[in-house]
Amino acid sequence: MTSEIEPRTRVPYPDTLTTPLDVEIAVTRTTPRTADAFGLAVAAEGAVPRQLGLSRAALEANGFSAKPGQTLVVPRSDGPTLVAVGIGSATDVDVSRLRDAAAAFTRAAGRRSHLATNLADVGSDLDGVDAAAAAQAVVEGVLLATYRYVGLKNDTSGSPKLEQFTLTAAAAQEKAITRGAARGRVTARAAGFARDLANMPPAYLTARRLADLARQIAGEHGLDIEVYDRDQLEVMGCGGMVGVNQASVEPPRLVKLTYTPRSPKGHLAMVGKGIMYDSGGLSIKPSDAFHQVMKMDMSGAAAVLAAMSTLRDLKCAAKVTAYLVCTDNMPSGSAIKLGDVLTMRNGTTVEIHNTDAEGRLVLADGLSLAVEQAPDAIVDIATLTGAALAALGPEITAVLGTDDGFVDQVKDAAAATDEPVWQLPLETKRYKKLLDSVVADMRNIGGPYAGAITASIFLSQFVGDVPWAHLDIAGPMKVDGDDGWKSKGATGVGTRTLIELATNFRTA
């Protein structure tokens, strides 16, 4: 008799969302008895909080000078472990620094399950720091520093175990801190969801699967949704989507989401690059460390979907229409070839000179469709060019656009969320000629230089007269190690910027 192999019931690709950041958040007047660790803000000068029970000299003797992000764990025989959290010079403290301090506290607290801190309340004592914004930032810092993608780990014993987080607040600040903390919970959960999507293996998160998740999100968060498949995209003339997808076994999906408040103040459109896996196509990428992270080439679409999920909760006043342009980019016998010409949704013909410049091809269709809705402005977000990473490094997003007023709104949103952006010039007059094609309206790549700019000039041909800004997040889409509120892996960058942009959106 042959031995039998016992079957396993696990489906091939189970749900690996980590339902991130499911933490109970409370605001109280005094340190809760059940807290395991209490983070106390310590400025570089002035009085040391009495609760710490240590003098400035004792702190200094232990190497703690209250530099921003510095922590000192003070064990005690009873009551919560105290953690001194440096916030630097009180006059320089801003919301970003409080977010960083909360993240540092969280990392110092390790696997303790109930954390508490006075950090948000400290914000209210400082010039120019609003208590609600401080509380939001502190909650974001704590939750985002706790984030881990554990969906595929059998052993999660090394991961954070945070269950409860309490902010202590003086009576006068309690309302504002409660309001800010609630907002921080929403924004941090959204960024965590975007991280989950980008961290997920490419076989788990196909375009079809992302569309299914979008349907679920839309149902839960009051969004209208329409999903278009390959045949529909063909009929719609979305030559970029169909072309990039044509070597793939997995079909493409275009996801349109709409958030409509009662009496909308303005209409913003968002477009997210959703390349589920970017092999480069026939212009295949070398098998190096970057190829390895191309499952994250849908980080733009993830940020847009995550941001959309918050708009009802945050009572966004603007109408927001979003397009996720989703497909992978693969080589095969049916791949687009160099020299092929694609016709985009707006009729523009594009000659392919490099199949690895695929993001702009799918975005061309997404932007064209967005323009047809006649929104007041369009923002797109994409892991678009290695050139943006080369120019600005791994921490700064490139922003380019056609309208300085709208680009300024993006800059303000980015500053508030500490997702830094830097504007590059959209030098259409000088560099558009680099995209000239002999046979079509344009080719899909420029020359060897200014790649982030030529990619943006390409995109600008699809936005008509609508004020437009483009975020190239190729650099900050991931971090290689834990860094403050960023946890190793996908960062979910842009999610909080888009939320801030949408909820503060002003028309000219």
Catalogue the active-site residues: 285, 360
Alpha carbon distance 142, 140 (integer Å): 6
Cα(413)–Cα(340) distance, rounded to whole angstroms? 40
Residue 359 vs 494, nearer CB to ligand BES:
359
The full length of the chain comes to 508
Torsion of CA 362, 364, 365, 371, to 10 degrees: 140
389 binds, among Zn ion, ligand BES, Mn ion, none (CB under 5 to 8 A by kind): ligand BES
How many residues bind to ligand BES according to rule CB under 6 A? 18
Residue 281 CB, shortest distance to Zn ion, in Å, is: 10
Q: Are 119 and 134 in contact (CB under 8 A)?
A: yes
Q: Residue 186 or residue 382: which is nearer to Zn ion going by CB? A: 382
Site string for ligand BES, 368-397 (x = CB under 6 A): ---------------xxxxx-x--------
Separation CA 476–CA 117 (nearest Å): 29
> Which of Mn ion, ligand BES, Zn ion, none does residue 445 bind to, with CB < 5 to 8 Å depending on kind?
ligand BES
Interface mask toward Zn ion for 297-316; x: CB under 5 A: x-------------------
Q: Calculate ∠ Cα 402-408-409, nearest 5°.
A: 105
459 binds ligand BES (CB under 6 A): no
Alpha carbon distance 141, 486 (integer Å): 9
In this structure, are residues 318 and 268 in contact, taking their beta carbons and an 8 Å threshold? yes
Q: Would you give the binding string for Zn ion spanning residues 348-377, x where CB under 5 A is met?
A: -----------x------------------
**What does the binding site for Mn ion look like in residue numbers (CB under 5 A)?**
278, 356, 358
Of 121, 297, 328, 418, the one binding ligand BES (CB under 6 A) is 297
* DSSP string across 268-329: EEEEEEEEEEE--TTSPPPSSHHHHTGGGGGHHHHHHHHHHTTTTTTT--SEEEEEEEEEEE
Please report whether residue 359 would count as binding ligand BES according to CB under 6 A.
yes
Query: DSSP assignment, residue 128?
Result: T
- The window from 119-127, 272-280, 285-293, 390-398 that contacts Zn ion (CB under 5 A) reads 272-280
Residues 277-296 touching Zn ion, rule: CB under 5 A, are 278
Q: From the list Mn ion, Zn ion, ligand BES, none, which binds 451 (C-beta under 5 to 8 Å, kind-based)?
A: ligand BES
Among 290, 332, 408, 480, binds ligand BES (CB under 6 A): 290
Query: Residue 359 or residue 375: which is nearer to ligand BES going by CB?
Result: 359
Q: Give the interface segment with Zn ion, choosing from 11-19, 170-178, 195-203, 267-275 (CB under 5 A).
A: 267-275
The nearer residue to ligand BES, 123 or 476, going by C-beta atoms, is: 476
- Shortest Å, Cβ 241 to Zn ion: 14
Shortest spacing between CB 102 and Mn ion, in angstroms:
36
**Residues 271, 360: contact at Cβ < 8 Å?**
no
User: Within positions 212 to 241, which residues make up the interface with ligand BES, using CB under 6 A?
Assistant: none
Strands (E), 118-199: 164-168
C-beta separation of 164 from 114 below 8 A: yes
Pairwise CA distance, residues 468 & 240, whole Å: 20
Tokens of 91: 């006059």
| Cβ atoms 488, 399 nearer than 8 A | no
Q: Is residue 100 a contact point for ligand BES (CB under 6 A)?
A: no
Amino acid at the residue 414: A
d(CA 259, CA 272): 16
Comparing CA positions, the residue from 318, 346, 294, 285 lying closest to residue 502 is 318
Kindly list the residues in this chain that would bind Zn ion in the complex (CB under 5 A). Answer: 275, 278, 297, 359
Binding site residues, ligand BES, CB under 6 A: 278, 290, 297, 354, 356-359, 383-387, 389, 445, 451, 474, 477
